[in-house]
Structure 1
Amino acid sequence: MRQRILDLNMLLTLVTIADTGTMTAAAERLSYTQSTVSMQLNRLEAALGVPLHERDGRRIRFTAEGQKLVATPERCWNSTAKPLTTFSNARFPGI
Structure 2
Amino acid sequence: MNRPMRIKLRKRGVRELLKSQEILDECVRVAQEKAAAAGPGYEADDGYVGKTRASAIVYPSSSAARSDNYRNNTLLKTFGSALKVRKG
Same fold (TM over 0.5): no
TM normalised by structure 1 equals: 0.30
Which has the larger helix fraction? 1
TM normalised by structure 2 equals: 0.32
Larger C-alpha radius of gyration, 1 or 2? 2
